Amino acid sequence: MRLSRYFMPVLKETPAEAQIVSHRFMLRAGMIKQTAAGIYSWLPLGLKVLRNIENIVHEEQAKAGHIPILMSTLQPADLWRESGRYDDYGEEMLRVQDRHGRDMLYGPTNEEAVTDIFRSHVNSYKDLPLTLYQIQWKFRDEIRPRFGVMRGREFLMKDGYTFDLSKEDALHAYNRHLVSYLRSYERMGLKAIPMRADGGPIGGDYTHEFLVLADTGESEVFYDSEVTDLSFGDREVDFDNVAECEAVLQEFTSRYARTDETHDEDLFNSVPEERRRTARGIEVGQIFYFGTKYSESMGATVVNADQKQVPVHMGSHGIGVSRLLGAIIEASHDDKGIIWPEGVTPFHVGIVNLKQGDDEADAACEALYKAFQKAGLDPLYDDRKERAGGKFATMDLIGLPWRITVGPRGLKNGVVELTSRKTGESEEVTPEEAIARVIAIYAAL
């Protein structure tokens, strides 16, 4: 993309309504535009990152053997009357009527809808296990939408639903989700710590939230500092191997790590004092096994090996896709702007022409631009007739991990400047070297 032809409405002023850094930078970088309280339109730069996050989620779900679907955003109220949640859900549910006076709602979550799909088409234990998931917009009429995409009313969620014959199988599905989530967050450049969460009215021990540590997080968290040393890395996992997935769960959840909702002071005090930490965190996902709650009330049964009808064991597993943009920025920025992790960056590399209109500088930038495109990378070329200071400020704000600066003076010596957004360090290298270095960095992801 050439910046002169792009649509990236950067703001000079800091918007007064934005209270936290991620919201400020998303508005200033022209990534989102508020439509109404807690409801946003995604502008090109924001949409690119959103899509990158979605792609990582899809790829990791595919590896785990989970199957994508796309359910409707509007749902009939009758489905929710079957589960008993239509009345329970309260004011967060956006309720509408169609022209025939039928009660409908904009889905805040999809347990009922997916259970209806399941019961319509699956009858035998032989068709299990099954995990269906989607990445779809949700609406929750939050009383206090705030912090931009972090707590929106309309937000994008990955929601996966597991169907199994037994509790044991359902817990394997739970563990598969834990593994796939660990991988997904790491690919986004995040450390998200699974913490024991509250099962709510359904109860049960089988729920973990994934939290990114950040001062602006809405949850108070308590943990053993050893959990922050854990990382999944690039190890291979056989998702069909029950013991292997269970071992990952043990590795990542055996140390103390809880949100305020489940915090237990006595247990916490058994952690050696020097390792006890209290902090704040952003919930970027949750996994949850809840048994037969929906399958019983909605009649989602299968015939087992003894020819008996039994309700299936279910779980729901969510990732806050749109919230993740905010979480990543909270975890990775400086005074000047965003610092995108390479796994989600909207463009792989920025090219800054210090003297637009200078034949040699223009030609060198064009050559770089084309070389990156040929390599399958997505460069952003700042080809505007602007002062260098303004160009650098824009690049710093939008946070591309690598910047190549091209000017007549460097070109006389056959070099350009390659700069890391994260460290701020610059190196003079030949254009060929700059291309090779950037290509190698992304090839290694």
Ligand X SMILES: Nc1ncnc2c1ncn2[C@@H]1O[C@H](COP(=O)(O)OP(=O)(O)O)[C@@H](O)[C@H]1O
Of 341, 337, 354, 343, the C-alpha closest to 397 is 337
Rule CB under 6 A: choose which of 24, 313, 323, 333 binds ligand X.
Answer: 323
* CB-CB contact of 91 with 105 (8 Å): no
Q: Output the DSSP codes for 323-340.
A: HHHHHHHHHSEETTEE--
Distance, in Å, from the CA atom of 312 to the CA atom of 71, rounded to the nearest integer, reads 20
Closer residue to ligand X, CB minimum distance, 127 or 215: 215
Cβ 207 to Mg ion shortest distance, Å: 8
Longest dimension (CA), the chain: 82
Among 196, 201, 230, CA closest to 211: 196
Q: Which stretch binds ligand X (CB under 6 A): 272-280, 316-324, 391-399, 412-420?
A: 316-324
Query: Minimum Å distance from CB 265 to ligand X?
Result: 23
Cβ 246 to Mg ion, closest distance in Å? 23
Q: Which is nearer to ligand X, 281 or 318 (CB)?
A: 318
- For residues 273-312, which are near ligand X according to CB under 6 A? 283-286
**Residues from 62 through 121 that contact ligand X (CB under 6 A):** 109
Residue 286 or 301 having the CB closest to Mg ion: 286
Nearest to 331 by CA among 282, 365, 262: 282
SS3 content of the chain, % helix, strand, coil (to 5): 40, 30, 35
Q: How far is the CB of 286 from Mg ion (least distance, A)?
A: 4
Q: Is 207 exposed, middle or buried (0-12, 13-18, 19+ CB in 10 A)?
A: buried
The answer to whether residue 217 forms part of the interface with ligand X (CB under 6 A) is: no
What binding mask, one character per residue, do residues 348-387 give for ligand X by CB under 6 A, x or -?
Answer: ----------------------------------------
| 108: preceding bond cis by omega (within 30 degrees) | no
Residue 284 interface partner, choices ligand X, Mg ion, none, CB cut-off 5-8 Å depending on type: ligand X
Q: Which does 55 bind (CB under 5 to 8 A by kind): ligand X, Mg ion, none?
A: none
Interacting residues with Mg ion (CB under 5 A): 286
Which chain residues interact with ligand X by CB under 6 A?
A: 109, 140, 142, 151-152, 155, 157, 283-286, 318, 320, 322-323
